[in-house]
Amino acid sequence: MSGMVMSDAPLSRLSLPSARAWRNAFAAGCALALHLGVLALLMAGWAPERPAEPALRVLTTQLISLPAPAPEPAPAPVQPAVAEAAPVEPLPTPVEPVPPQVDPRIEQRKLEQAALAHKRVEEQKRQEQVQQETRRREQQRLEAERVAAAAEQQRQLDLARQAEQQRLAAERARQAEAAANSRQYLPIAKEAPDYPQRALDKGIQGDCTVEYRVNPQGRVEDPQVVGDCHPLFIRPSLVAAQTFRYQPRLENGQPVTVPGVRNTFHYRIER
């Protein structure tokens, strides 16, 4: 057997929703309805209208020439107003600056450093001058040596040229003298000696040189055999030399004797 228990509390004590809850529920319902309406319009094919494009405006300008403005009259000079002299205030007396105290030891050190620097500069200048003078003397020495070498080479060339000229002159003089001598005692007549019969029979051959002098008349004097000569060739060589005739040599226009003239006779048997 069941029993139902009823509460004795009155109905007025049950809690009701507050006003804030009602407002939230109303806002949520409006938002839901707005979304549902936009969704229905989109599904029905509605599209928002595009704004119209702005019309282009054209600006028209026109150039208008205006006359030059007339010159304005010059303003009249304004007389300066004479102001009353203000009282002159006396100038403040200038205060002379007090020179700083200088340590004499520092000044002495500065002077010594300046003197030392000046001395170094002067020493450097002196060294540069010495170096320049040394280089100048070296250049002068080299130039003098070059000039001396060139002069010596030229002198050697001149000496060689003079020696060559003297040699050529001596050679020409010798040739001229030889030619003159040969012209002065050229043989006028020469006869070959007789070949000795005994030498022919024995088949003897040889040479025989005869030395003699030519007198002023061009005749042979004192013929003698010199060198190696076969005895069979001596007599015919001396006899043949006696028959020679020469053109006499002239010295200062006078004929003279020519000593030491030689002539070699060649004895050969032709086969």
Q: Is the separation of the CB atoms in 191 and 240 below 8 Å?
A: yes
pLDDT of 14: 47
> Does 235 score more than 90 pLDDT?
yes
Which helix (H) or strand (E) segment holds residue 147: the answer is: helix 104-184
Model confidence over 56-89: pLDDT tens digits? Answer: 666 666 666 666 666 666 555 555 544 455 555 6
Strand 206-214's sheet: what is its strand order?
220-226, 206-214, 258-267
- CB distance 208 to 229 below 8 Å: yes
Report how far residue 74's alpha carbon sits from residue 60's, in angstroms, rounded to the nearest whole number.
40
Over residues 144-177, the pLDDT tens digits come to 999 999 999 999 999 999 999 998 998 888 777 6
**Token couple for 53:** 């494009």
Distance of CA 192 to the CA centre of its chain: 83
HSE on the CB side for 184, CA within 13 Å?
A: 22
Question: What are the residues facing 263 on neighbouring strands?
Answer: 210
Q: Do residues 223 and 210 make contact, with C-beta atoms less than 8 angstroms apart?
A: yes
**Amino acid identity of 42?**
L
pLDDT tens track for 27-57: 888 888 888 887 887 777 655 566 556 656 6
Tell me if residue 99 falls in helix, strand or coil: coil
C-alpha closest to that of 219 among 182, 246, 237: 246
Q: CATH code for 187-267?
A: 3.30.2420.10
Residue 4's pLDDT is 42
Strands 254-256 and 258-267: unpaired
Distance, in Å, from the CA atom of 175 to the CA atom of 180, rounded to the nearest integer, reads: 8
